[in-house]
Structure formats: structure tokens, C-alpha cells
């Protein structure tokens, strides 16, 4: 475990009782170290790393904006609503929440902070509109010269 991270580890079984004693550092250097450790933990593709970096940067900006030092489940739920209220599309919200959930899963596995996002649902994504491909006949009709 990296002892440069400024979160005091606690035994997993004590998270629920002692959760209020621990804070996530919002110091940029600490966040950079945490993110690097998190990325090595998830062993993800470059696209996933880029998406998570963007998503987690937004989460930490939200925490700073609202002075959240000890996030709880309700903070993650409020963040989801905040994203929606600020015009983010459901797919974007879903991606952001997935990154936050993976991050807190890692903090718990590493003994750094409880997984406060474990049972938070992502955004509701409408399944009513799906892109359909043109049939061969439709494609020919579209490509036919007009006279």
C-alpha cells in the first residue's frame, strides 16, 4: 500500500463505525498519486483511463465546490442529480457514476476509505430510441439519382 496517500487506513470491518474520522485529501498532489494508484489497480485501456480521469476530475471538483471532505452515499446520489441539473446527458452521467463507483471500490479494497458508492444507481438511460441500420433496399433508394 502506498503510504504517500493522506488517508489513514482502517480495518475494513471498522469502516462503518469509524468512517466519520477519515477524510479524502483534495490536495492536487495527493489526488494525482491516488489516481495513479487507482489506474494501476484497475489495469484499464487508455480510453478507459482517459474517461475515468475526466470523470473523477469532475467528482473531485464537485467535492471541492461543496466542501465535501467525508463523502457518503448521499453525496454520490446528490452528485448524480447535480450532473443532471447541469445539463449532462444520461450516458455521460452513467459514465461519471461508474468511475466514482470503481474509485470507491478501489479505496475500500486498498483499506483507504469505505465504498460509499456501492449501491448508488447510475442514470436512467432511455432504451426507446435505438439506431437502426438501413436495409439494402433503403440504402439503394437513398442513393438513387433524383430526376
Average pLDDT over residues 16-28: 61
- Cα–Cα distance for residue pair 61/108, rounded to 1 Å: 21
Query: Is-contact 25 54, C-beta < 8 A?
Result: no
Query: Is-contact 9 112, C-beta < 8 A?
Result: yes
pLDDT at 128: 64
- Cα–Cα distance for residue pair 117/110, rounded to 1 Å: 15
pTM: 0.71
pLDDT at 8: 44
Half-sphere exposure in the Cβ direction for 59 (13 Å, CA): 30
C-beta neighbour count of 49 within 10 angstroms: 15
Query: Is-contact 136 95, C-beta < 8 A?
Result: no
| Residue 19: pLDDT band with limits 50, 70, 90 | low
Please provide the size of the chain in residues: 147
Instruction: For residue 105, give the H/E element and its range.
Output: helix 90-109
Tell me the three cell numbers of residue 13.
470491518
Domain boundaries, the chain: 12-143
Query: Is-contact 100 55, C-beta < 8 A?
Result: yes
Per-residue pLDDT tens for 41-85?
888 899 999 999 999 999 999 999 999 888 999 999 999 999 999
Average pLDDT over the chain, rounded to whole?
81
Architecture of the domain spanning 12-143: Orthogonal Bundle (1.10)
DSSP state, residue 20: G
Q: Please determine, for residue 26, whether its predicted confidence score (pLDDT) is greater than 90.
A: no
Amino acid at each position: 500500500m502506498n503510504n504517500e496517500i493522506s488517508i489513514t487506513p482502517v480495518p475494513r470491518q471498522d469502516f462503518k463505525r469509524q468512517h466519520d474520522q477519515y477524510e479524502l485529501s483534495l490536495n492536487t498532489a495527493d489526488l494525482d498519486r491516488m489516481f495513479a494508484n487507482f489506474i494501476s489497480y484497475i489495469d484499464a485501456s487508455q480510453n478507459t483511463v482517459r474517461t475515468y480521469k475526466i470523470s473523477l476530475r469532475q467528482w473531485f471538483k464537485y467535492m471541492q465546490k461543496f466542501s465535501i471532505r467525508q463523502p457518503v452515499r448521499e453525496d454520490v446520489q446528490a452528485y448524480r442529480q447535480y450532473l443532471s441539473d447541469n445539463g449532462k446527458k444520461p450516458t455521460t452521467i452513467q459514465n461519471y457514476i461508474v468511475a466514482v463507483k470503481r474509485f470507491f471500490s478501489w479505496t475500500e479494497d486498498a483499506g483507504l476509505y469505505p465504498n460509499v458508492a456501492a449501491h448508488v444507481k447510475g442514470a436512467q438511460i432511455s432504451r426507446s430510441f435505438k439506431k437502426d441500420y438501413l436495409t439494402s433496399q433503403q440504402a439503394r433508394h437513398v442513393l438513387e439519382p433524383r430526376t
